[in-house]
Amino acid sequence: MTYSAVKISKGRGGWGSGLTLLPTDENNIVISVTGGGIHPVAAKIAELSGAEVVDGFTNNVPDAKILCAVINCGGTARIGVYPKKRIPTVDVYPGEPGGPLAQFITDDIFVSAVTPAEVTVAVGATVPAAAPAATLSAEETAAAYKADAARKAAARGTGFSGFVVGFGNGIGYLINTLLSSGRQAVKLTLNTIIPFMAYVSLLIGIVTYTGLATWIANLVSPLASNPIGLILLGVIVGLPFLSPILGPGAAIAQVIGVLMGTQIASGAIPVQYALPTLFAIDGQVGCDFVPVGLSLGEAEPETVSVGVPAVLFSRQITSPLSVIIAYGASFLLI
């Protein structure tokens, strides 16, 4: 099979210096983890390079065969899943290192804001070769372990001095762990949580100012004002082909939740419908993350290929069922 190297540059507002990829017989699959089938960027990469393109949302591919992963994440969890595995990642959104896996997103493995126009044939470009991993025999590994253990034992000392040194090391480890956790929590809050809150606030402000909020409220209110309508709403948002599209960031659920909250507060919808309405609009939440979550859990390819449709179809049962249970429990809250 003849392959060609492709150059992938960052788009407008993107991050990263770009990627140059060359498929091989062992590493020749482009996965599109965007929901809704094959993304045009993934199709363009496969077309120019001669690689195979696969919908990563419905099919699982061993990591060793993945040339690159095409995602659509603005900076939450999914953005760092494939960089953590050292798989070249192409984000079609203008994302940058963020989320709990931000430390794995490096310039040599990630590029964002990519459109088909940023994917070109690499003329005269060379693909960096990975450095060979150093290997040790079993005897060398055992000897190195014993030498390291002896060095640590000598450093700790014996008796009371050894106890003091060990106690001090333990306290230092605890403090450093707490300090690192606090640093990561603050960084995650500043880089991910607060920007997402601002995004949702802006989105709500736009739909409210333009009058779209009133239109959505008038459209959904008849469904949310009776139990049958809520169950129907839960069925709709839980549709396997619709839930992955509505799922990213739970933005749709948050906007509708705010709108329905204002309707309940104004008395247009009875207050006992608040709890079942919550479950009715949240049936799709997390459906876009199913294949990524399974990958994070290092699931086998067979598990992912069966697990993704199983979870999506199970939402068709659990979503309306949760609305019914919430409706029954809501009368206890009055």
**Residues taking part in catalysis:** 73
Strands 110-111 and 89-91: parallel
DSSP string, 48-95: HH--EEEETTT----GGGEEEEEE--SSSSGGGHHHHTT--EEESS--
What amino acid is encoded at 166 in this protein?
A: G
According to DSSP, the residues that pair with 262 across neighbouring strands are none
**Burial (CB count <10 Å: 0-12, 13-18, 19+), residue 181:** exposed
Distance between CA atoms of residues 67 and 89, nearest Å: 9
Report whether 303 contacts 92 (CB < 8 A). Answer: no
- Residues 187, 193, 197, 199, CA torsion sign: positive
According to DSSP, the residues that pair with 70 across neighbouring strands are 32, 90
Distance between CA atoms of residues 311 and 132, nearest Å: 39
**Burial (CB count <10 Å: 0-12, 13-18, 19+), residue 131:** exposed
Measured CA to CA in angstroms, residue 44 lies from 3, 31, 69, 242, 252 at distances of 14, 12, 13, 25, 30
Report whether 195 contacts 75 (CB < 8 A). Answer: yes
Strands 89-91 and 66-71: parallel
Strands 6-8 and 119-121: antiparallel
Assigned token pair, 193:
């949580």
